[in-house]
Amino acid sequence: MKIFGFLFQSSIGKKIMMSLTGLFLISFLLVHCGVNAMIFFNDGGEIFNEAAEFMGTNWLIRTIEVGLFVFLLIHIIQGLYLWNDNAKKRKEKYGKTAGNANSTWYSRSMGLLGTLLLLFLIIHLRHFWVISRFTDVVTGGEQTLYEMMKEVFAEPWVVAAYVLGCISLAYHLMHGFQSAFQSLGINHPLYTPLIQQIGNGFAIVVSVLFAAMPVAMHFNIVQ
Amino acid sequence: MEKGINVTLKVWRQKNETSAGSFETYKVQANPDMSFLEMFDVLNEQLITEGKDPVAFDHDCREGICGMCSMVINGRPHGPKGGITTCQLHMRSFKDGDIIVVEPFRANSFGVIKDLSVDRTAFDRIIAAGGFVSVNTGNAVDANNILIPKEIADKAFEAATCIGCGACVSACKNASAMLFVGAKVTQLALLPQGKAERQSRVVAMVNQMDAEGFGACTNTGACAAECPKEIPLSVIATMNREYLAAKLNGK
């Protein structure tokens, strides 16, 4: 603890922690998006269900899932704490502000975007994770994940909530991806513009793919 | 003399550090070639003639190197132009009839001494915590006795151009001082003279920065965009790297 305590105590330590947990969550998104995109094979969810079955039963994936929740909780708690703490550092506010002249609105709104994502996450986990991990075990449910998706996304407000969640994700990632590298001290005239472009590309591709899933299911584009 | 422009100023007036302040409105006729501070001199002449209290504002060199002019003009430290201080901002950057809001740099760690004059001694305490190098007493060593590659010297100099004005803190939504501290850490970490205290320095300066109550960095980049000396955001990355290495080394 003496060596790693700074990750929770000092200003730089905390942002290194936000960066490391964020990068882990990014790697999770890549896998999650890749597996879910298999619904677009449009084969009635056959390949997707097989992949979901593997992800849900493989011991290694299940172990990493525990780590995922730990990192997710650290990212959320530390993020909310930093948001609140940073907001208190200027008690007397400016009479006139011009934030857009020097930074992007989404880089200044990571706390807000993250909170929207948290709200989305609660809805999302309730829809799928809770049911597939616990309810089915109890009831011995017969429903496949693909059928669950079909059922959940029949509801228009759910589709709207998911699309809004994906928009929040896109902006959160557009700042978060490149910011994670800066926090770790990776800044170089050659690589930083590349990291920023990859980050923007990742943010848009992943968010559009995720948003396309409820939309495609709702309008029966995938059967 | 060219035709003057008429501007309306909304200036933050505050008696002292503990009292509450508010905006006062003044009308000033200014020559377009005046600097922003010269325009304030005109305003103060006006106020003195009227028997009123002149606006307190800091200035020393009026050539962009002292870093004293702590004004936020229309929401931006040192005004709307990039890479300059308030004294280098000229009235030709404004139009006749403009309303200009002028307030002090604001952060919990920067107290307002009076009106637009700001207490930035928190920066001095951060420098005192580690922004120095140790040298032997005795005769001054010859110049270029220690060889430093030109590109390293250039990079160190780029960071060393920080004038400690505090625009980074005032522009940051978190009132973070990381661009200032990063500039000093980077400069000294690059040079052989700074190697002796390299790891203890970054930890001591970051600890002092946190103790002074500055916010944490969220990499918005506002600081570097508003810096009158155009210190790049990469100095913060360098500081993060130096800090991480020092911490993992048990410092």
Give the nearest partner residue to B243 out of A12, A104, A189, using CB atoms: A12
Exposure string (b/e) for B149-173, b if CB count within 10 Å is 16 or more?
Answer: eeeeeebbebbbebbbbbbbbbbbb
A168 to chain B, any CB pair closer than 8 A? The answer is: no
pLDDT in tens, B52-66: 999 999 999 999 999
B171 to chain A, any CB pair closer than 8 A? The answer is: yes
Looking at residue B2, its pLDDT comes to 56
Query: Quick one: which of A129, A144, A149, A157 has its CA closest to A210?
Result: A149
| B244/A16 touch (CB, cutoff 8 Å), yes or no | yes
Residues 110 to 129 of A: which have CB under 8 A from any B CB? 110
A164-188: average pLDDT: 97
pLDDT in tens, B190-241: 999 999 999 999 999 999 999 999 999 999 999 999 999 999 999 999 999 9
Q: Whole-number mean pLDDT of chain B? A: 95
The DSSP call for residue B3 is: P
Write down the domain spans for chain A: 7-86+106-218
Looking at residue B135, its pLDDT comes to 87
**In chain A, what percentage of residues exceed pLDDT 70?**
96
A190 to chain B, any CB pair closer than 8 A? The answer is: no
B196 to chain A, any CB pair closer than 8 A? The answer is: no
Looking at residue A200, its pLDDT comes to 98
Looking at residue B196, its pLDDT comes to 92
Give the nearest partner residue to A89 out of B107, B243, B247, using CB atoms: B107
Q: How confident is the model at residue A53 (pLDDT cuts 50, 70, 90)?
A: confident
Q: Whole-number mean pLDDT of chain A? A: 93
Looking at residue A132, its pLDDT comes to 76
pLDDT in tens, A67-104: 999 999 999 999 999 999 999 999 999 999 999 999 99
A50-59, A175-184, B11-20: least confidently modelled range: A50-59
The span from the first CA to the last CA of chain A, in angstroms, equals: 52
Looking at residue A139, its pLDDT comes to 53
| B173/A12 touch (CB, cutoff 8 Å), yes or no | no
User: How many contacts, defined by CB atoms under 8 Å, are there between A and B?
Assistant: 146
B64-80: average pLDDT: 96
Q: How confident is the model at residue B70 (pLDDT cuts 50, 70, 90)?
A: very high
Residues 52 to 111 of B: which have CB under 8 A from any A CB? 72, 74-76, 80, 101, 103, 106-109
| A3/B215 touch (CB, cutoff 8 Å), yes or no | no
* Residue B35, strand partner residues: B90
**In chain A, what percentage of residues exceed pLDDT 90?**
83
> At residue B103, does pLDDT exceed 70?
yes
Residues A24 and A147: their CA atoms lie apart, in Å, by 29
> At residue B183, does pLDDT exceed 70?
yes
A5 to chain B, any CB pair closer than 8 A? The answer is: no
The strand pair at B22-30 and B5-13 is best described as antiparallel
A82 to chain B, any CB pair closer than 8 A? The answer is: yes
Give the nearest partner residue to B218 out of A3, A94, A110, using CB atoms: A110
| Alpha-carbon gap: A87 to the closest alpha carbon of chain B (Å) | 6
| A97/B75 touch (CB, cutoff 8 Å), yes or no | yes
Please tell me whether residue B220 adopts helix, strand or coil conformation.
Answer: coil
Looking at residue A141, its pLDDT comes to 60
Nearest CA in chain A to B23: A95
A14-18, A146-150, B111-115: least confidently modelled range: A146-150
- Residue ranges of domains in chain B, CATH in brackets: 5-114 (3.10.20.30), 120-134+146-248 (1.10.1060.10)
| Alpha-carbon gap: B140 to the closest alpha carbon of chain A (Å) | 36
Give the nearest partner residue to A184 out of B103, B218, B240, using CB atoms: B240
Looking at residue A135, its pLDDT comes to 67
Q: How confident is the model at residue A1 (pLDDT cuts 50, 70, 90)?
A: low
Looking at residue A75, its pLDDT comes to 97
pLDDT in tens, A134-146: 765 545 566 788 9
Token pair 């942002």: residue = A15
> At residue B178, does pLDDT exceed 90?
yes
Top-confidence residue, A131 or A39: A39
> Which residues of chain B neighbour A188 with C-beta distances below 8 Å?
234
Query: B91 to each of A155, B34, B48, B79, B94, how far by Cα in Å?
Result: 59, 6, 22, 11, 5
Cα A1 to chain center, whole Å? 28
Cα A59 to chain center, whole Å? 23
Residues A55 and B194: their CA atoms lie apart, in Å, by 52
| B75/A82 touch (CB, cutoff 8 Å), yes or no | no
Q: Are B223 and A92 in contact (CB under 8 A)?
A: no
Q: How confident is the model at residue A56 (pLDDT cuts 50, 70, 90)?
A: confident
Q: What CATH number does the domain located at A7-86+106-218 have?
A: 1.20.1300.10
Looking at residue A134, its pLDDT comes to 73
A11 dihedral zone (left: phi>0; alpha: psi -120 to 50; beta): alpha
| Alpha-carbon gap: B24 to the closest alpha carbon of chain A (Å) | 12
Looking at residue B63, its pLDDT comes to 94
Residue B198 CB partners (closer than 8 Å, separation 6+): B188, B189, B242, B246
> At residue B3, does pLDDT exceed 80?
no
Q: Are B64 and B84 in contact (CB under 8 A)?
A: yes
Q: Are B72 and B80 in contact (CB under 8 A)?
A: no
| A13/B247 touch (CB, cutoff 8 Å), yes or no | yes
> Which residues of chain B neighbour A186 with C-beta distances below 8 Å?
237
